A and B are shown apart, each in its own frame.
Chain A
């Protein structure tokens, strides 16, 4: 077995279950699509690993790639529902940003995820992941910072900047009458 294959197998065994569950969760339980995302994420990561700069841990890079690719797939069939409210950021709040039901049908969360897919078009992987975690999944800025190895301040800045852009997009989507 080559060194590259050994390294790939190690990465896969350590992180693939989490990547797959991440994709499965965002893709509404679509197992085939989640498997495709898992495969694409690992091949993409491994081929780009030598070019990756900085000290980001594989987990944070893979988690963002899985989130990005899953949302990208959702975007192709997403409809605008207007479920994300004002997209306001309260960085000082201790509690979560959103309290959307993830279970018991999870319709509201699914709709919110579709909305966010439309609003994050063109955003980079880190911003998109922060936005999904905060506006849809209800993470606090501290929890996002812990998940992605960022400072809470960095998360706050990214979310505030995204929120400003997203509110304009949301207005346009609402005016277009696609709700």
Chain B
């Protein structure tokens, strides 16, 4: 007689999380009741979960959910506007490959601001030097309503989505509200980092664009406008 098939890992995980129901739950419970080795697997998973939560508590990640306090940014925005006017436009801009109905008229202006102690903002000039831990917020002025994302290729060649953070799709953008919600805190990967603002009148997928960046290519897709800036993290 052959050995019964072990409970698949995913089902045991789902059972442990209390998320299994119906017939599937009954099958797993029968298998656990019949097999000491299956119960031992479950006990090992339970212990591993406890250890994981001790070494990786939720607090650090949860803190990244926090939206900046409104008054702080409201005060910051006028500073930003003044700084931009004084510095002029320093952003690289490239128009979209035009497809008749998706042609971008006007320009895409992309600006990054570093928040300084006390809440004041500093517009980052091209080639600016930044530090790990710096808090950076972005402004994208688009030619109209559409969809916006901000991607990065860091000094190690890793691409990531800064806005909307870790998402697979861009965020809706009305074209007028230039300052994007949320700020990012720079990690400790040093070197030259190029950050891209992407705009399209239509929704688009971020995964292929991230792969282009990983390959060292410029993000490109039909109907997509891009603007970029570069800083050096030291």
* CB nearest neighbor in B for A41: B166
Which B residues, 90 to 120, have Cβ-Cβ distances below 8 Å to chain A?
none
Residue from B11, B64, B166 with most neighbouring chain A CB atoms (10 Å):
B166
Contact of A16 with B13 in the complex, beta carbons under 8 Å: no
Tell me the minimal C-beta distance from B14 to chain A in angstroms: 5
**Interface residue tally for chain B (C-beta within 8 Å):** 37
Question: A44 at interface (Cβ–Cβ under 8 A)?
Answer: yes
A8, A14, A21, A25: which contacts B18 (Cβ < 8 A)?
A14
Residues of chain A contacted by B65 (CB below 8 angstroms): 4-5, 8, 43, 46-47
How far does the alpha carbon of A59 sit from the alpha carbon of B162 in the complex, in Å? 25
Specify the main secondary structure of chain A where it touches its partner.
Answer: helix
How far does the alpha carbon of A153 sit from the alpha carbon of B80 in the complex, in Å? 56
Which B residues, 145 to 191, have Cβ-Cβ distances below 8 Å to chain A?
164-168
A13, A20, A25, A58: which contacts B19 (Cβ < 8 A)?
A58
Contact of A39 with B19 in the complex, beta carbons under 8 Å: no
How far does the alpha carbon of A38 sit from the alpha carbon of B52 in the complex, in Å? 12
Contact of B58 with A133 in the complex, beta carbons under 8 Å: no
Residues of chain A contacted by B58 (CB below 8 angstroms): 8-9, 12-13, 16
B9, B10, B211: which contacts A76 (Cβ < 8 A)?
B211
* CB nearest neighbor in A for B171: A47
Task: Evaluate whether A14 and B17 lie within 8 angstroms (CB atoms) in the complex, with A21-B48, A43-B166 already known.
Answer: yes
Beta-carbon contacts of B14-37 to A below 8 Å, as 1s and 0s?
Answer: 101111100110010000000000
Tell me the minimal C-beta distance from A6 to chain B in angstroms: 9
Specify the main secondary structure of chain B where it touches its partner.
Answer: helix
How far does the alpha carbon of A48 sit from the alpha carbon of B16 in the complex, in Å? 25
Residues of chain B contacted by A143 (CB below 8 angstroms): 8, 10-11
Tell me the minimal C-beta distance from B160 to chain A in angstroms: 9
Contact of A42 with B19 in the complex, beta carbons under 8 Å: no
Residue from B18, B24, B58, B164 with most neighbouring chain A CB atoms (10 Å):
B58
Residues of chain B contacted by A147 (CB below 8 angstroms): 8, 10-11, 14
How far does the alpha carbon of A139 sit from the alpha carbon of B61 in the complex, in Å? 32
Contact of A139 with B8 in the complex, beta carbons under 8 Å: yes
Beta-carbon contacts of A36-54 to B below 8 Å, as 1s and 0s?
Answer: 0011101110111000000
Beta-carbon contacts of A13-33 to B below 8 Å, as 1s and 0s?
Answer: 111111011100100000000
Residues of chain B contacted by A59 (CB below 8 angstroms): 13-14, 17, 19
Residues of chain B contacted by A133 (CB below 8 angstroms): 10
Contact of A48 with B167 in the complex, beta carbons under 8 Å: yes
Nearest 10 pairs between A and B by C-beta?
A: A17-B49, A146-B24, A12-B58, A59-B19, A18-B13, A40-B166, A147-B10, A17-B52, A44-B166, A9-B58
Report which B residues bind A (CB closer than 8 A): 5, 8-11, 13-14, 16-20, 23-24, 27, 45, 48-49, 52-53, 56, 58-59, 61-62, 64-66, 164-168, 207-208, 211, 214
Q: What are 24 A-B contacts defined by CB distance under 8 Å?
A: A8-B62, A9-B62, A12-B61, A15-B19, A16-B52, A17-B48, A17-B49, A17-B53, A18-B17, A20-B52, A20-B56, A43-B61, A44-B167, A46-B65, A47-B65, A48-B167, A57-B19, A59-B13, A59-B19, A63-B10, A133-B10, A139-B10, A143-B11, A147-B11
